[in-house]
Amino acid sequence: MLTQTSILRVVSKLLIPPIMLFALYVQFHGDFGPGGGFQAGVIFASAFILYALIFGVDNARKATPAWLTRLMLASGLLLYAGVGVVAMLLGGDYLDYSMLSSDPHAGQHLGITLIEFGVGTTVAGAMITIFLIFDGRLRAEKED
Amino acid sequence: MAFTAYSLVRLHNLFAVVMLSGIYSLLAAVLYVVMDAVDVAFTEAAVGAGISTILMLGTLALTTRMDKENKLIDPVPLAIVTITGALLIYGTLDMPPYGDPSAPVHHHVGQYYIEKSGEQVGPPNIVTSVLASYRGYDTLGEVTVIFTAAAGVMALIGRSRRRKKKGDKT
Amino acid sequence: MQTFSGLFNYWVVIILMMMGFYMVISQHNLIKKIVGLNVFQVSVFVFYISMGKVKGGTAPILAEGIEIYSNPLPHVLILTAIVVGVATSALALALTVRIKDAFGTIEEDEIEALEIEDQAKNQESLS
Amino acid sequence: MIATQLPILQVILPLIMAPIALIVRSPRTVWMLTLLVTWITFCISLTLLMQVLEGGTIVYRIGGWAAPWGIEYVLDKVGAFVLVIVSAIGSIVMTYARRSVEAEIQEDRIYLFYTMFLLCLTGLLGIVITGDVFNLFVFLEISSLSSYVMISLGKDRRALTAAYRYLIMGTLGATFYIIGVGMMYMMTGTLNMADLAVLIPSIADSRTIQTAMAFLTVGVCLKLALFPLHLWLPNAYTYAPSVVTAFLAATATKVAVYVLIRIVFTLFGDVNILEGLGVQNILMALAIVAMFAASIMAIYQDNMKRLFAYSSVAQIGYIILGLSFASQVGVAAGIVHLFNHAIIKCAIFMGLGCIALRVGGVSIKNMYGLGYRMPWTMAAIVIGGLGLIGIPMTVGFVSKWYLVRAAFEQDMWIIAALIVLSSLLAIVYVWRLVEAAYLKSAPQDAAPISEAPLSMLLSLWILALASIYFGVDATTTMNIALDSADTLLNGGLQ
């Protein structure tokens, strides 16, 4: 795609790792400032999309094959729902994080971290999937 | 914002329309910050201005860039919209004024969250506490919606195996 | 006069909402309809957020020395609603792509004409 | 311990199975998993219904937070009854689905189809059981998004536009609903239904609440396809895959009616909104127009799926008419017709699905002579058709009988007469099918066809027999309906 321009390549190589780090920061800092799993997932996905735009979607596809994005998509939701089930098995109501640990506060914290991570995973998976599908469609059309 | 919205109705170049709708989202995000909703602003900027715009551009690339001439004023829809708008304005007449601290909305559930979430849940960001814990089930639903949309897009325009094989041969 | 200044905010939002709504029901282009839907929904979100604002309040993040916070609940609801909105548009756009493939156009009136043709063909093939 | 967790398990099981289906992918396995889940949810919902009938309303706090701070699940008699309807239809449709899906949907999309089906089921069950107005919106969107996708998987290209239109209308409806919720929230500060029902009466005169009511009603009526807002429905039902039509026709609109019941009788129950604001008259008028206009439209359709889609619009008219009487008998008639119509329509559309599988089309010309060529399928469809007309000994008769009684109770002779008159229209469109199937002979060159596969026939006949059983002995359903109507009219959730 835009592989010819070396400025773009260098700049984006420099940018992508910080963006991913920032995504992680947003993911785990949601307790204190604005942010959380959803925003983190979107930012993570946009780092991926940037990579795909600069280095070509083929390379990006190699990094995240279809089964991986599908797994991300499904596992995030399963993690979230699973946390609820675990809380239920531990004797609480569904999604009652206080049950996850002997100390309700720690339990709440653990629960929130886990489900936010689930949210992030599914959202990133969903965004990447949708992006790749739209792209795949574009190429299929070009080939015809 | 109103100007952006008006231009959206007028313009025929779909590319411009999509860009403007991104700008509209960004403006909304600015408004959210002004109204103290930092989390929402963050999301709106990332999603409304970012993801939706990319998706729309992708769709444009797959379809077409211009729409046909359209009558600007279509009496029937205009009438429906006017009635709906008038009803809404009628509804606002009994609303508490903007920013009023004594409005009922601030004294029931919202108040409770502000007072109790720190000790009951923990995180200083109340929005996170409410989103993930008090109304955690809504968020589970939200994740399910995203999941549905992604799987739905796969079902609608995902590559089918047959087509892939054809592509490999050529 | 006081009501006017207090409610003015809501009225602006309503006008925006109605512009989006009008776009959805009057436009014939499928993509413009989706954009209209977005405008409509975003305006509804602004409406929610503005009811959560408290004069003199700050963002609902607990901190020392701050007494007044804006109401966090509308923020939570709108976070959810934004996501739902995006999911809907993604799906709508995917549908539009398929429609373009199947009909070769994304103008509603042209599609309707093609649909009527389909109907006629069906009847012919049966009789 | 499990017994107390049933309300959440009901919704969570299909939700968890959906991502698993996405990973597993093998059509056969996914179908078996889905089948298993649907039958489990059906058993759970039956247990819940028993529990509610014995012990009264069940409340379940999600996350351990008490309402209104958290989200709670509330299950009263109406809710439990509708839950049983939805999950029963879900499990029967799944039993039927495998062959039909294989024939109508591309092979590599089948696992996605089942994923969507599970999500749709999750959404519908979640709507019924929730006690929170915003949570209802979220699950409404889950069920809607998945049904748009399922409809668009139909073979005909018009399925795409049908899905698109449904999407636009459905999203508008949901947005209207959200505006209404926002206004209610603004005036009360809560989103919990029980809490709202307590807080609303004191401010019922406020113009904001009245507007909120209007927006909620319009939004939901878009979803349930009440007459002038029904335009999305006929195409969506016609071009969707047969399984989807059977499932959605029996559940999606019914759940929307249930939401309307919740709004009118639970949220605004103490305000008596029906009589107060003229809503009653508007709903009644629209319902009657729907009964006639849609039945007449149905008569002129050549595509059988389309014919019965219009008939669905008409039948929704009957349900709304029942509710708009706002009397115990009327509301009970509405609720019982919800159940009856779900059975009938699901059976008819499943029958048409069998025909589509064997004959390849469901136009009136495809029906010629089918009464002799696919006798079992056709007989089941005709039993369903008789139910639509309201012949004695079928379920349709029970609901119409109570509707007419409700009309008499309030001395509305004209309406009673109109109910009977509109049934005559149903005779006309059902007769068209019967005539084609039994009195016309098949074209000479028609390829020989065999009866539908056993798994499909079996589920079809379970429903057909159910429609006779509940028509002959209506005491069970009617008692539940009367009971629920009683609780609805006298104070909502408690």
Q: For residues B7 and B72, is the Cβ–Cβ distance under 8 A?
A: no
A137 touches chain C (CB under 8 A): yes
Which region among B156-160, C23-27, D131-135 has the lowest average model confidence (pLDDT)?
B156-160
Every domain of chain B and the residues it spans: 1-74
Exposure string over D286-323, b if 16+ CB within 10 A, otherwise e: bbbebbbbbbebbbebbbbbbbbbbbbbbbbbbbbbbb
CB C61 to CB A137 under 8 A?
no
Which region among B62-66, D375-379, D427-431 has the lowest average model confidence (pLDDT)?
B62-66
- Which residue in the set D160, D182, D361 is minimally distant from C95, CB to CB? D160
Give CA–CA dist D114/D105, Å, rounded: 11
Alpha carbon of D306: minimum distance to chain A alpha carbons (Å): 33
Place of tokens 């009971």: D483
C residues 84-123 closer than 8 Å to A (CB): 90, 94, 97
Of D270, D289, D309, which residue sits at a domain end?
D270
CB B140 to CB A81 under 8 A?
yes
CB A141 to CB B143 under 8 A?
no
Give CA–CA dist A133/B58, Å, rounded: 10
- Over residues D383-408, the mean pLDDT reads 90
Decide which of D263 and C63 is more confident. Answer: D263
D157 touches chain C (CB under 8 A): yes
CB C42 to CB B100 under 8 A?
no
pLDDT at C5: 66
Chain A residue numbers with beta carbons less than 8 Å from the beta carbon of D23 are 70-71, 74
Q: Which one of A80, A134, A138, A144 would you mutate to disrupt binding with C, by most C Cβ within 10 Å of its Cβ?
A: A134
pLDDT at D413: 87
pLDDT at D371: 84
pLDDT at B72: 63
CB C97 to CB A32 under 8 A?
no
Q: Which residues contact A31 (CB under 8 A, 6 or more apart)?
A: A109, A112, B122, B123, B124, B125, B128
CB pairs under 8 A between C and D: 78
Q: Which one of D16, D73, D132 would you mutate to disrupt binding with A, by most A Cβ within 10 Å of its Cβ?
A: D16
pLDDT at B96: 80
pLDDT at D171: 94
By residue range, what is the domain housing residue C8? 2-126
CB A94 to CB B151 under 8 A?
no
pLDDT digits (tens, 9 = 90+) for B92-145: 887 787 777 778 777 788 888 888 887 787 778 888 888 888 888 999 999 999
Q: Which chains border B (3 or more CB–CB pairs < 8 Å)?
A: A, C, D
- Which residue in the set B137, B149, B156 is minimally distant from D62, CB to CB? B137
Alpha carbon of C83: minimum distance to chain B alpha carbons (Å): 7
Reported as a pLDDT band with limits 50, 70 and 90, residue D277 is low
B3 touches chain A (CB under 8 A): no
Q: Could you give the percent of chain C with pLDDT greater than 90?
A: 17
- Over residues C83-112, the mean pLDDT reads 89
- Which residue in the set A75, A93, A98 is minimally distant from D60, CB to CB? A93
Reported as a pLDDT band with limits 50, 70 and 90, residue C120 is confident
pLDDT digits (tens, 9 = 90+) for D219-251: 999 888 888 888 889 989 999 999 999 999 999
Which region among A8-12, D169-173, D321-325 has the lowest average model confidence (pLDDT)?
A8-12
Which region among B127-131, D78-82, D403-407 has the lowest average model confidence (pLDDT)?
B127-131
β-partners of residue D58 are D75
Q: Which chains border A (3 or more CB–CB pairs < 8 Å)?
A: B, C, D
Every domain of chain A and the residues it spans: 6-143
pLDDT at B151: 93
CB D62 to CB A75 under 8 A?
no
Give CA–CA dist D492/D487, Å, rounded: 6
Give CA–CA dist B87/C14, Å, rounded: 10
Q: What DSSP string runs through chain A?
A: --TT-HHHHHHHHHHHHHHHHHHHHHHHHTTTSS--HHHHHHHHHHHHHHHHHHH-HHHHHHHS-HHHHHHHHHHHHHHHHHHHHHHHHTTS-TT-GGGGSSSHHHHHHHHHHHHHHHHHHHHHHHHHHHHHHHHHHHHHHHH-
Give CA–CA dist A24/A26, Å, rounded: 5
Chain B residue numbers with beta carbons less than 8 Å from the beta carbon of C15 are 2, 85
- Which residue in the set C73, C95, C123 is minimally distant from D163, CB to CB? C95
D residues 347-376 closer than 8 Å to C (CB): 361, 363, 365-366
CB A34 to CB C61 under 8 A?
yes
Note whether D363 and D464 are same-domain residues: yes
Note whether D64 and D179 are same-domain residues: yes
Long-range Cβ contact pairs of A104-108 (< 8 A, separation 24 or more): A105/B122, A108/B120, A108/B121, A108/B122, A108/B133
D18 touches chain A (CB under 8 A): yes
CB B151 to CB D112 under 8 A?
yes
D17 touches chain A (CB under 8 A): no
Q: Is D460 exposed, middle or buried (0-12, 13-18, 19+ CB in 10 A)?
A: buried
Decide which of D139 and D280 is more confident. Answer: D139
pLDDT at D333: 92
The one-letter code for the residue type at B38 is V
CB C24 to CB D178 under 8 A?
no
Chain D residue numbers with beta carbons less than 8 Å from the beta carbon of A94 are 5, 8, 12, 60, 62-63
Alpha carbon of D354: minimum distance to chain A alpha carbons (Å): 34
Of D248, D270, D292, which residue sits at a domain end?
D270
- Over residues D417-430, the mean pLDDT reads 90
Decide which of D412 and B153 is more confident. Answer: B153
Which region among B9-13, B55-59, D276-280 has the lowest average model confidence (pLDDT)?
D276-280
Nearest CA-CA partner of D378 in D406, D400, D405, D350: D350
Q: Which chains border C (3 or more CB–CB pairs < 8 Å)?
A: A, B, D
Alpha carbon of D110: minimum distance to chain B alpha carbons (Å): 9
Chain D nearest-CA residue for C81: D138
Chain B nearest-CA residue for D135: B138
What's the structural domain count of chain C?
A: 1
pLDDT digits (tens, 9 = 90+) for C39-91: 899 999 988 888 888 777 777 777 776 777 888 888 889 989 999 999 999 99
B13 touches chain A (CB under 8 A): no
CA distances from D216 to D159, D223, D288 (A): 28, 11, 21
Chain B nearest-CA residue for C94: B153
pLDDT at A22: 84
Give CA–CA dist A118/A73, Å, rounded: 9
| 3-state secondary structure (DSSP) of residue B167 | helix
D residues 60-89 closer than 8 Å to A (CB): 60-64
pLDDT digits (tens, 9 = 90+) for D460-471: 999 999 999 998
Could you write out the three-class secondary structure of chain D? CHHHHHHHHHHHHHHHHHHHHHHHCCHHHHHHHHHHHHHHHHHHHHHHHHHHHHHCCEEEEHHHCCCCCCCEEEECHHHHHHHHHHHHHHHHHHHHHHHHHHHHCCHHHHHHHHHHHHHHHHHHHHHHHECEHHHHHHHHHHHHHHHHHHHHCCCCCHHHHHHHHHHHHHHHHHHHHHHHHHHHHHHHCCCEHHHHHHHHHHHCCCHHHHHHHHHHHHHHHHHHCCHHHCCCHHHHHHHCCHHHHHHHHHHHHHHHHHHHHHHHHHHCHHHCHHHHCCHHHHHHHHHHHHHHHHHHHHHCCCEHHHHHHHHHHHHHHHHHHHHHHCCHHHHHHHHHHHHHHHHHHHHHHHHHHHHHHHHCCCEHHHHCCHHHHCHHHHHHHHHHHHHHHCCCCCHHHHHHHHHHHHHHHCCCHHHHHHHHHHHHHHHHHHHHHHHHHHHCCCCCCCCCCCCCCHHHHHHHHHHHHHHHHHHHCCHHHHHHHHHHHHHHHCCCCC
CB B47 to CB C26 under 8 A?
no
pLDDT digits (tens, 9 = 90+) for A61-102: 888 888 888 899 999 999 999 988 888 888 888 888 888 887
pLDDT at B69: 63
Token code pair at residue B73: 């004023």
Q: Which one of C97, C98, C99, C100 would you mutate to disrupt binding with A, by most A Cβ within 10 Å of its Cβ?
A: C97
What's the structural domain count of chain D?
A: 2
CB pairs under 8 A between A and D: 49
Chain A residue numbers with beta carbons less than 8 Å from the beta carbon of C90 are 130
Q: For residues D190 and D199, is the Cβ–Cβ distance under 8 A?
A: yes
Token code pair at residue C69: 């916070």
CB D171 to CB C88 under 8 A?
yes
pLDDT at B160: 62
Token code pair at residue C100: 């373009």
CA distances from B23 to A127, B53, C21 (A): 21, 10, 18
Note whether D259 and D294 are same-domain residues: no
- Over residues D5-34, the mean pLDDT reads 91
By residue range, what is the domain housing residue D346? 278-494
